[in-house]
A and B are shown apart, each in its own frame.
Chain A
């Protein structure tokens, strides 16, 4: 896993020590992401690079309109909110015909935002890698059932490449899996950060529609209704 030192993180994101530690204290950044290691200069703190940068970007975007407590609730709960299939199709964030091509999606009427954000990420990587439809669909077919088994918002998705083929590893937050040198990590993100990106328009979704009431979708009874997140 690629890491970033605390000093580099602060320089790159422009946040202060105070912000970093306030967000840690408010549980916006998991404590497990602060990895202390001995270094020549003494003890240094490192973070999982992509996850940390994604999380900070999400917090910076959300903090303009939300309190830290609201952000914590948003990050913790919104991945499980449901969107109807028609609504997703109307957003135009997935390729035409995808629902019909992938058997797992064919009869599915509702999607958690975490699932949708995951599919969008796979789609984005497939486009980057110029993956043929057959491999893209096969990857979704194999990986989507994992999201049924591990639903925690803090779950971390690893998109890896081995012997020219893409695979998905889904891990619980905290102790992260180690990969041997033959495996290339293509993308790493927690479900919560994928959803935050989706909500703030990083995947060209239409936030107005995405956050409005779902025509044919429902919301989990146990999750709070998320209001207005302004698109960038």
Chain B
């Protein structure tokens, strides 16, 4: 697989690559496609990104849609703009850094496993795990904690998450979660420090 390294500061019009590695600053004005994207520097992309594996240890600002098999974020990844809908779609998303996807977009993945922070309008999928760690720096960077308007998935496990709506089959609400409305159709576990304003659905409550 041919590897293309961007080390300095440069602007590109987009294109297709096999293995794209960005250590410097890359400003991309068009659509970007690559089998692998490694970011240790900064990527600013005005359009869409399609890739197999997306590994972000630096900063990625993508204004369009992102479609990938695997997304691994240890740095910071921002998708869309407040005024524009953009989607983040992947089979698997792992986040130990920060992901923001605001506006009217959504994050859709079979598995979303976040130990870092996610600020998004909507997160949907098969299994959503958001267990934000309590590092002071990360909390400050991510505006204190993970915030999501709507989370919908078959299995949901949360801690340190603020959400307006959480709908799922099996739901575990962990420490310090604040949820306005929760609908559960399977097993429901709630930590004593969590706050949920309204609970609906035909579920079995399990006490720990």
Contacts and interface: CB of A to CB of B under 8 A. Distances in A.
Interface of A: 7, 10, 16-19, 21-22, 24-25, 41-43
Interface of B: 89, 108-110, 124-127, 150, 152-155, 164-165, 167-169, 180-181, 183, 185
Contacts, number: 44
A22 B165 contact: no
Contacts of A10: 185
Most chain B CB within a 10 A radius of its CB, from A7, A25, A42: A25
Given A10-B185, A17-B154, A22-B125, 17 more contacts: A16-B169, A17-B126, A17-B153, A17-B167, A18-B125, A18-B154, A18-B155, A19-B154, A21-B125, A22-B110, A24-B108, A25-B108, A41-B181, A42-B165, A42-B181, A43-B150, A43-B165
A31 to B, nearest CB: 9
Contacts of A41: 181
A42 B164 contact: yes
Greatest chain B CB density within 10 A among A10, A17, A22 is at A17
B143 to A, nearest CB: 22
Contact of A7 (B124, B155, B180, B183): B183
A199 B53 CA distance: 37
B152 A21 contact: yes
A16 B126 contact: yes
Given A7-B183, A25-B89, A17 B169 contact: yes
A136 B153 CA distance: 46
Contact of A17 (B109, B152, B165): B152
Nearest to B89: A25
A22 B154 CA distance: 11
A174 to B, nearest CB: 15
Q: A-side binding surface: helix, strand, loop or mixed?
A: helix
Nearest to A10: B185
B147 to A, nearest CB: 16
A35 to B, nearest CB: 13
Contacts of A25: 89, 108-109
Contacts of B168: 17
A43 to B, nearest CB: 7
Nearest to A31: B87
A17 B122 CA distance: 13
B179 to A, nearest CB: 12
A43 B181 CA distance: 11
A21 B181 contact: no
Contacts of B154: 16-19
Nearest to A22: B110
Contacts of B125: 17-18, 21-22
B80 to A, nearest CB: 15
Contacts of A24: 108
A69 to B, nearest CB: 13
A104 to B, nearest CB: 43
A61 to B, nearest CB: 21
Contacts of A17: 124-126, 152-154, 167-169
Contacts of A42: 164-165, 180-181
B157 to A, nearest CB: 14
A21 B108 contact: yes
A22 B150 contact: no
A17 B106 CA distance: 14
A227 B155 CA distance: 35
20 contacts: A10-B185, A17-B124, A17-B126, A17-B152, A17-B153, A17-B167, A18-B154, A18-B155, A19-B154, A21-B108, A21-B126, A22-B110, A22-B126, A25-B89, A25-B108, A25-B109, A42-B164, A42-B165, A42-B180, A43-B150
